[in-house]
C-alpha cells in the first residue's frame, strides 16, 4: 500500500511538473529570437523587436528641462482625469517625473511608482523626502510582474516604457490582474507613424501595433487622444 502511495505521489509531481513546463513553453513560443536593430535585444513579439531598457544613467534625460515643451506632460496628466481618491500605478516610473505630478492630484489616493531598477526608486525616495509628498509608494518590480495587489488600481500609466518590456505578455497579464474591472490603462508611446518625431525607430510604436498586442492581452482601445506633440495617448480598458 505504501509503495502504491509513493508511486501515486511521484506521478502527481511529474504531472504538474510537465504541466508547468508546457505552460511556460506556450508563453515562450509567443516570442521569437533573431538579429535586428542595434538598440534591440534580439527578441521579438508579434513582429516587433523589443528595445533595451534605458538605465538609471538616463535620469538626466527623464528630468530634462525641455521635456514639458517636447511632450506636453501637463496635457497628458489632464487627459487622465485624475480624481482625488484614485489609486494609480506608474509602471516604469523612472525618476518619478510623472508620479509626483499625479500624486498632487490624488491627495486622498495613492501612486504606485514601479520600476525594476533600485537606483530609480532611490531617486524617487529622495525626492519624496525633499518634497514631503507621502502618497507615493515605490515598488521594485520584476521583468515579469508589477508586484501590485490584485484588483487594486484605478489607472495605470506607462510612458515610453512598454516597448522595452522583455516579457510583454507576462507584464500585461500582471497589470490586468492589478487593474480594477472599470479601470483604465494609459499607454503612451512615441508615434511610429510620424517620421518627424526625433526618436529612434525601435523606441516608437504605431497605434496598430499597440492595439494588436493589447488585444492579445484582453484589452480594447477606448480612444487615442491625439493631443500630444510626439506621442500617442492610447486609453485601453479590459475586454472581459
User: What are the cell numbers at 229?
Assistant: 506633440
User: What are the cell numbers at 181?
Assistant: 474591472
What is the tens place of the pLDDT at every residue in 44-54? Answer: 999 999 999 99
Q: Classify residue 172 by burial, with Cβ atoms within 10 Å: 0-12, 13-18, 19+.
A: buried
Q: Nearest-CA neighbor of 217 among 178, 191, 190?
A: 178
- The proportion of the chain whose per-residue pLDDT surpasses 90, expressed as a percent, equals 86
Residues contacting residue 109 through CB under 8 Å, at least 6 positions apart = 83, 84, 85, 86, 87, 88, 135, 154
Q: Nearest-CA neighbor of 156 among 191, 107, 111?
A: 111
Q: What is the mean pLDDT of residues 182-210?
A: 98
pLDDT interval class at 216 (50, 70, 90): very high
d(CA 194, CA 82): 29
Residue with cell 508579434: 46
d(CA 170, CA 99): 23
What is the tens place of the pLDDT at every residue in 62-83? Answer: 999 999 999 999 999 999 999 9
d(CA 168, CA 161): 11
What single DSSP character describes residue 206? -
Q: Which of 27-36, 110-119, 123-132 has the lowest mean pLDDT?
A: 27-36
* Residues 218 and 240 sit within 8 Å (Cβ to Cβ): yes
* Residues 56 and 119 sit within 8 Å (Cβ to Cβ): yes
- The proportion of the chain whose per-residue pLDDT surpasses 70, expressed as a percent, equals 88
- pLDDT value, residue 29: 80
What is the tens place of the pLDDT at every residue in 134-185? Answer: 999 999 999 999 999 999 999 999 999 999 999 999 999 999 999 999 999 9
β-partners of residue 231 are 190
Domain boundaries, the chain: 54-238
Asked if residue 13 has pLDDT above 60, the reply is no
Task: Residues 54-238: name the CATH superfamily.
Answer: Vaccinia Virus protein VP39 (3.40.50.150)
Asked if residue 200 has pLDDT above 80, the reply is yes
Number of Cβ within a 10 Å radius of residue 23: 10
Amino acid at each position: 500500500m505504501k509503495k502504491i502511495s509513493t508511486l501515486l505521489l511521484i506521478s502527481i509531481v511529474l504531472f504538474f511538473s510537465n504541466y508547468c513546463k508546457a505552460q511556460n513553453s506556450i508563453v515562450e513560443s509567443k516570442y521569437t529570437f533573431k538579429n535586428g536593430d542595434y538598440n534591440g535585444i534580439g527578441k521579438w513579439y508579434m513582429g516587433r523587436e523589443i528595445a533595451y531598457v534605458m538605465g538609471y544613467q538616463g535620469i538626466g534625460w527623464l528630468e530634462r528641462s525641455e521635456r514639458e515643451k517636447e511632450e506636453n506632460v501637463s496635457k497628458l496628466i489632464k487627459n487622465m482625469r485624475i480624481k482625488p481618491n484614485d489609486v494609480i500605478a506608474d509602471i516604469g516610473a523612472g525618476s518619478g517625473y510623472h508620479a509626483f505630478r499625479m500624486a498632487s492630484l490624488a491627495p486622498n489616493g495613492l501612486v504606485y511608482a514601479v520600476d525594476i531598477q533600485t537606483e530609480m526608486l532611490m531617486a524617487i525616495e529622495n525626492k519624496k523626502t525633499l518634497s514631503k509628498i507621502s502618497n507615493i509608494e515605490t515598488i521594485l518590480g520584476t521583468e515579469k510582474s508589477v508586484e501590485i495587489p490584485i484588483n487594486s488600481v484605478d489607472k495605470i500609466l506607462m510612458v515610453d516604457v512598454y516597448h522595452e518590456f522583455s516579457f510583454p505578455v507576462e507584464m500585461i497579464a500582471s497589470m490586468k490582474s492589478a487593474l480594477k474591472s472599470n479601470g483604465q490603462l494609459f499607454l503612451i508611446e512615441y508615434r511610429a507613424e510620424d517620421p518627424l518625431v526625433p526618436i529612434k525607430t525601435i523606441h516608437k510604436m504605431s497605434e496598430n501595433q499597440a492595439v494588436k498586442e493589447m488585444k492579445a492581452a484582453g484589452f480594447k482601445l477606448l480612444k487615442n487622444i491625439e493631443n500630444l506633440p510626439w506621442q500617442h495617448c492610447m486609453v485601453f480598458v479590459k475586454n472581459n
